């Protein structure tokens, strides 16, 4: 397992050299640009670096290109789900060709309640929808794949 210092150095390098899809997605998310939700990019969690994360709402967004494998992603997703995170994955092509559909999918995930096993009143509070997406409506050809934490 890489040390925390190694992960921070790697995350910083990844932030300074994003893929085209990561750059496009960050232009939507940065500075609370998506309906006021705060995101961080290239954030270390455990021994992994996630592409984008909204910590307050427990949502991780991944831009998937040819370098991703289903088996590796499954282990990573299980680790992150066990820590209460939901993972929303988009193919790079979808991010580059359907920006509005991607933004809508992210907003839908942010506005949906988080599944959890905490006693009533102790869960994460999610703000109700305030207005339609500033990016408009639309749905990607493949859409997004969401991994949700399992209820215990």
Domains of the chain, by residue range, sit at: 4-147
Q: What is the pLDDT of residues 72-112, one digit of tens each?
A: 778 888 999 999 999 999 999 999 999 999 999 999 999 98
Residue with tokens 């942010």: 110
Look up the CATH architecture of domain 4-147. Answer: 3-Layer(aba) Sandwich (3.40)
Q: What is the pLDDT of residues 22-71, one digit of tens each?
A: 999 999 999 999 999 999 999 999 889 899 999 999 999 999 886 656 77
Residue 151: which residues within 8 A CB-CB, separation 6 or more?
A: 115, 116, 117
User: In terms of C-beta density within 10 A (0-12 exposed, 13-18 middle, 19 or more buried), how is residue 68 classed?
Assistant: middle
Task: Record the pTM.
Answer: 0.71
Quickly state the pLDDT bin for 7 (edges 50, 70, 90).
confident
Residue 11: which residues within 8 A CB-CB, separation 6 or more?
A: 42, 43, 44, 49
pLDDT at 141 over 90: no
**Amino acid 52: pLDDT:** 96
């Amino acid at each position: 397992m890489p040390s925390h210092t190694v992960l921070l150095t790697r995350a910083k390098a990844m932030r300074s050299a994003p893929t085209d899809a990561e750059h496009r997605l960050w232009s939507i998310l940065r500075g609370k640009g998506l309906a006021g939700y705060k995101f961080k990019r290239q954030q270390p969690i455990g021994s992994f670096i996630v592409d984008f994360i909204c910590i307050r709402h427990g949502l991780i967004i991944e831009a998937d290109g040819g370098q991703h494998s289903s088996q590796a992603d499954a282990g990573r997703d299980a680790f992150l789900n066990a820590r209460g995170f939901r993972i929303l994955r988009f193919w790079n092509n979808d991010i580059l060709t359907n920006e509005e559909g991607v933004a809508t999918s992210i907003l839908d995930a942010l506005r949906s309640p988080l599944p959890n096993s905490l006693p009533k009143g102790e869960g994460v509070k999610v703000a109700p929808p305030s207005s339609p997406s500033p990016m408009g409506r639309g749905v990607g050809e493949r859409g997004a794949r969401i991994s949700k934490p399992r209820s215990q």
